[in-house]
Amino acid sequence: MFRSVASEYDKMDQASWIINSYIIGLIVAQPMYGKLSDIYGRKGPLLLAYVCYLIGAILAGSGVSFTGVLIGRAIAGVGNSGISVLISTLIVDLVPMQEVAVWRSYVYALNMAGRALGPPIGGLIADRSNWRWAFLYQTPIVLLTIIFVWWKMEIPNAAKKIENYADEDRSSWTKKLKRIDFGGSITLGIANIGLVLFLDEISKDLNLAQNTLAIVSMVIWLVFLVAFAVCEGFIAHEPVLPLRLLIKRNVFAAYMIQFMQTAAQVALYTSMPLYFRVTVGDSTTRVALRLAIVTVGTIVGGLISGFVIKRTGKYKRLIFVSVVMSNISLFAIYIRWQGNTDWAETLYGFPVGLGFGVSLSAAFIGLTFRLEPSQIAIATSGFYLSVNLGSLFGVSISSLIIVSIVKKNLYASLSGFDNATAIIQSVVRNFDEINRLPGKVQLLVQRAYIDSMISVWLFAFICGMLSLLATFLMQETSSKTEGKRRSNRDYRTIASEEDDDI
């Protein structure tokens, strides 16, 4: 569908920015929602998130210009970031600790089902009518959700439970505004934009000596990341993402597990369509069916995680087993997906999805069980930021691996051809060009792509192993014990156990 959008404006070389603009909105806004909901309560920021998503969908669907589509996508990303953070935070606010895991598994299953169904529905709408309706069909649903949240949803103000928030209801709007960490939000936002630009550029060309934009974006990323650390550590009175929180073992472990697990799954998920098109000539429908195996595994994993944690009250061993299972499957893919993969071996993707679904749900529980209510919204923002950064990392590095290895192998194998450079540039820019090449050259190009994707499988496996190492940092807390502890403890007390720190 994104190709259709870009081609209408003669911007095929910028089609990736339809996704990148959404990611920028997502990771720039995500860290802010947790703190905003602590200051203004959950309902206001949640409504703001839904309104942003609605405006973004309308702007993107209107399609006045390509720039307008990108702005709409960015605003939709801002909205979606708040929806994911605040829904998870509300579950912890509203549900007894013993029930958090199972309720979150329901929401997660619905979320993954929506993600799985969204692209096919959007593609079907784009094929049958116009790509604009692929964005606009969501607006009635989002509008009804806004009305429901505003009219019917009663959300307790979690800020009342936290020290220094006793006069929250009586505070003026300007006093609340002064509590927002604008310095930290702006510096982290610019750093994240620099990271997106840097990864986008190196995924096209790893030669930094000839890629000025990559160097500039890398400098922006590093400079503003340092500025963010200084602001959060020494300047901000109420940091948007407190550095002290990041050294807590369960927080750090949960972030690292999800960053690496997401990078591994996304690298696999985004490379599978290309692999099966190259090796067996799969249609879009057949590729979607293969991807559905991974998606179904993820949904089932999320549900299993919720019910197991509800029954046992434990999560650490569950995370460990799920990551091991996922890694075994990733290693099997690396060994077996060598260019002649049949439908039976496509099922290796199911345990990968299953492990990801279990670990995502269980790691979130491990994150929240050892935090005080005053820390949960902020920590949740960071959790989802780690997931989205992992997704960005997985997509960018896998793209870099594919482009680099394809170019390297083809320059070696086509060295005797007069038009070798033109062939390489055409098949890297547009995979469909392979079908127009002579038979012998087609085979060489296909082999180069297969070799590159085998390296992507290895990258995914390495990410999975790093995720496994992070599981050893996770500390265990029973949900039943934690529920009793919170019910008997003054919410104004901030956790300060020394063994929580790395």
Question: DSSP string covering 353-379, please?
Answer: HHHHHHHHHHHHHHHHHTS-HHHHHHH
pLDDT at 103: 86
Higher pLDDT pick, 441 / 160:
441
Query: With 50 as the cut, is the pLDDT of residue 494 above it?
Result: no
Query: With 90 as the cut, is the pLDDT of residue 490 above it?
Result: no
Query: With 90 as the cut, is the pLDDT of residue 372 above it?
Result: no
- 3-class SS at 417? coil
Distances (CA, A) of 271 to 156, 416, 422, 453, 460: 44, 30, 24, 7, 11
Span 146-165, mean pLDDT? 66
Say which residues have a Cβ less than 8 Å from residue 381's Cβ, sequence separation at least 6.
30, 31, 32, 33, 34, 35, 85, 240, 241
DSSP conformation class of 340: -
The number of helices, as runs of H, and strands, as runs of E, in the chain is 20, 0
Query: Residues 42, 93: contact at Cβ < 8 Å?
Result: yes
Query: Residues 60, 73: contact at Cβ < 8 Å?
Result: yes
pLDDT at 491: 40
* Count of beta carbons in the 10 Å neighbourhood of residue 114: 10
pLDDT at 330: 96
Higher pLDDT pick, 93 / 57:
57
Query: With 60 as the cut, is the pLDDT of residue 376 above it?
Result: yes
Q: Given CATH 2.60.40.10, say whether it is the number of domain 1-167.
A: no
Provide the β-strand partners of residue 248.
501
**pLDDT tens column, 219-240:** 999 999 999 999 988 888 889 8
Higher pLDDT pick, 243 / 498:
243
Distances (CA, A) of 362 to 34, 92, 200, 424: 20, 14, 31, 45
User: pLDDT category, 167, cuts 50, 70, 90?
Assistant: very low
Residue 175 carries which side chain, given as an amino acid letter? K
- Per-residue HEC secondary structure of 437-471 comes to CCHHHHHHHHHHHHHHHHHHHHHHHHHHHHHHHHH
**pLDDT tens column, 99-122:** 888 888 888 778 777 766 666 666
Radius of gyration of the chain from its Cα atoms, rounded to whole angstroms: 23
**pLDDT tens column, 266-308:** 899 888 888 888 888 887 778 888 888 888 999 999 899 988 9
pLDDT at 458: 96
* Count of beta carbons in the 10 Å neighbourhood of residue 321: 15
Query: With 60 as the cut, is the pLDDT of residue 162 above it?
Result: no
**pLDDT tens column, 307-326:** 898 888 889 999 999 999 99
Span 428-457, mean pLDDT? 84
Q: How far apart are CA 383 and CA 11, in angstroms?
A: 34
Q: Which residues of 328-367 are buried (b: 16+ CB within 10 A; e: fewer)?
A: bbbbbbbeebeeebeeeebebbbbbbbbbbbbbbbbbbbb
* 244-393+456-487 CATH pick, 3.40.50.200, 1.10.10.10, 1.20.1250.20, 3.30.1120.10: 1.20.1250.20
DSSP conformation class of 476: P
Span 336-358, mean pLDDT? 91
pLDDT at 159: 42
pLDDT at 495: 40
Query: With 80 as the cut, is the pLDDT of residue 497 above it?
Result: no
pLDDT above 70: percentage of residues in the chain: 86
Query: Residues 248, 500: contact at Cβ < 8 Å?
Result: yes
Q: How far from each other are the two terminal CA atoms of the chain, in whole angstroms?
A: 45
Span 190-206, mean pLDDT? 84
Higher pLDDT pick, 349 / 441:
349
pLDDT at 50: 96
Higher pLDDT pick, 502 / 395:
395
Nearest to 479 by CA among 380, 364, 402, 366: 366
**pLDDT tens column, 394-428:** 988 888 898 889 888 888 888 877 788 888 877 77
The encoded tokens of residue 48 equal: 């703001």
Q: Which of 6-20, 43-57, 320-334 has the lowest mean pLDDT?
A: 6-20
Nearest to 264 by CA among 253, 252, 272: 272
The encoded tokens of residue 283 equal: 């249609």
Q: Extract the runs of DSSP E, i.e. beta strands, from 256-309.
A: none
pLDDT at 34: 87
pLDDT at 496: 43
Q: Which residue has the tokens 């071996």?
A: 345
Nearest to 204 by CA among 27, 66, 17: 17
Residue 325, Cβ density class (10 Å: 0-12 exposed, 13-18 middle, ≥19 buried): middle
User: pLDDT category, 7, cuts 50, 70, 90?
Assistant: low
User: pLDDT category, 165, cuts 50, 70, 90?
Assistant: very low
Q: Is the dihedral of CA 311, 314, 320, 326 positive or negative?
A: positive
pLDDT at 319: 94
Nearest to 36 by CA among 168, 152, 167, 143: 168
Span 78-94, mean pLDDT? 88
Span 423-445, mean pLDDT? 79
